[in-house]
């Protein structure tokens, strides 16, 4: 069931997958569900739903830009999404996974070590990590972390000039309103919305990846502290 769902979803994306890739994803899913019994890693507890809503959903990002040879940052990675499925699908990718919760980063490191995969991880808040990593990445992505205006302020300063911010979002009326509210933040932080890639991994549920390019420098002093961002979002 797990393998079948992955194959069907990726076929719909125009992607291929081999046995070794499926095995790595399956081992990660098994370890995720095992650890989830004692850690709060995911609300999804069925292997088939993990395949669809975590693994396949994350892997759609592979179709949205050429990720090979790029330095990629996954902000608010949680239990490793979308970073770990992408890394297990293509171990040559250079992905740094960032999360403020050390136990989640420890889980990712342990999961990678079990499969002999080298990963880059950072346990820190984005607004703290940017002090060392500003302007260091070709691509920044994030999945289910924060409203787009807040996420934009946190993410854009990590990008190199002409880099891409690829937030993964729902596609519905509420998200359209969220995107409208974020237009000022995107422009203020030096971004330009170039388009979107729409997809689905489950019937009746539409998803999208926004494609936002950094066309100008992000202002100095940004991102602000999360408390300041939350109190007065852009």
pTM for the whole structure: 0.96
Q: Burial level of 112, CB count in 10 A (0-12/13-18/19+)?
A: buried
On whether residue 137 sits in a domain, the answer given is yes
On whether residue 54 sits in a domain, the answer given is no
The total number of structural domains that make up the chain: 1
On whether residue 116 sits in a domain, the answer given is yes
- CATH label of the domain that carries residue 143: 3.40.50.150
Rounded distance between C-alpha atoms, residue 52 and residue 54, angstroms: 6
On whether residue 122 sits in a domain, the answer given is yes
On whether residue 92 sits in a domain, the answer given is yes
- The DSSP element (H or E) to which 33 belongs, if any, is helix 19-36
On whether residue 189 sits in a domain, the answer given is yes
- Structural domain harbouring 157: 66-231
On whether residue 27 sits in a domain, the answer given is no
The pLDDT tens digits along the chain (234 residues) read 999 999 999 999 999 999 999 999 999 999 999 999 999 999 999 999 999 999 999 999 999 999 999 999 999 999 999 999 999 999 999 999 999 999 999 999 999 999 999 999 999 999 999 999 999 999 999 997 889 999 999 999 999 999 999 999 999 998 899 999 999 999 999 999 999 999 999 999 999 999 999 999 999 999 999 899 989 999
Decide if 14 contacts 57 (C-beta within 8 A): no
On whether residue 28 sits in a domain, the answer given is no
Rounded distance between C-alpha atoms, residue 191 and residue 85, angstroms: 27
The HSE-up count of residue 93 (CA atoms within 13 Å, CB side) is 25
């Amino acid at each position: 069931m797990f393998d079948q769902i992955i194959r069907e979803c990726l076929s719909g994306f125009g992607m291929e997958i081999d046995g070794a890739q499926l095995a790595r994803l399956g081992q990660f899913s098994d370890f995720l569900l095992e650890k989830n019994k004692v850690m709060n890693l995911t609300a999804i507890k069925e292997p088939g739903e993990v395949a669809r809503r975590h693994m396949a959903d994350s892997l759609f990002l592979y179709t949205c830009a050429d990720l090979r040879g790029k330095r990629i940052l996954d902000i608010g990675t949680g239990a490793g999404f979308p970073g770990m499925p992408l890394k297990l699908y293509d171990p040559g990718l250079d992905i740094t996974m960032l999360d403020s919760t050390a136990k989640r980063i420890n889980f990712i490191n342990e999961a990678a070590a079990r499969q002999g995969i080298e990963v880059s991880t950072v346990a820190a808040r984005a607004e703290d990590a940017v002090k060392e990593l500003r302007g260091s990445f070709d691509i920044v992505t994030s999945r289910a972390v924060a409203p787009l205006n807040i996420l934009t302020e946190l993410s854009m300063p990590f990008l190199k000039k002409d880099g891409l911010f690829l937030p993964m979002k729902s596609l519905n009326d509420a998200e359209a309103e969220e995107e409208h509210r974020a237009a000022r933040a995107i422009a203020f932080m030096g971004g330009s919305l170039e388009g979107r890639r729409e997809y689905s991994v489950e019937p009746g549920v539409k998803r999208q990846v926004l494609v936002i390019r950094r066309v100008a420098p992000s202002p100095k002093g940004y991102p602000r502290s999360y408390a300041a961002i939350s109190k007065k979002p852009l």
